[in-house]
Amino acid sequence: MRRWLSEWLQALGAVLRSPTARQKEAHARYCHTISAAGLIGGVTLLFSESALTMFSVVRATAMLVVAVVLFISGMLFNEEP
């Protein structure tokens, strides 16, 4: 079991250190998809609350900030070398 885990972690490390172009594109698409979900969720949260409280505004703002960070991460993953 330990040998299998060690081999798996080494393979994961190799993929993270030097991903292929297709893996970078997949990571970029994933970041953009989650970014869109965060944006939609943040806006939906604001419009679905019956009374806006400070807590709901903070939650929506946090979701929107994470969405922007993921969008930028996706752009960086998709950048040509």
The confidence score (pLDDT) of residue 38 equals 93
The confidence score (pLDDT) of residue 21 equals 86
Place of tokens 């979701």: 63
The confidence score (pLDDT) of residue 35 equals 95
The confidence score (pLDDT) of residue 11 equals 86
The confidence score (pLDDT) of residue 39 equals 93
Residue 16: exposed, middle, or buried by beta-carbon count in 10 A (0-12, 13-18, 19+)?
exposed
Q: Whole-angstrom Cα distance, residue 33 to residue 56?
A: 23
pLDDT along the chain (81 residues), means of 10: 86 84 89 94 89 90 94 86 65
User: Would you tell me how many other CB atoms lie within 10 Å of the CB of residue 4?
Assistant: 8
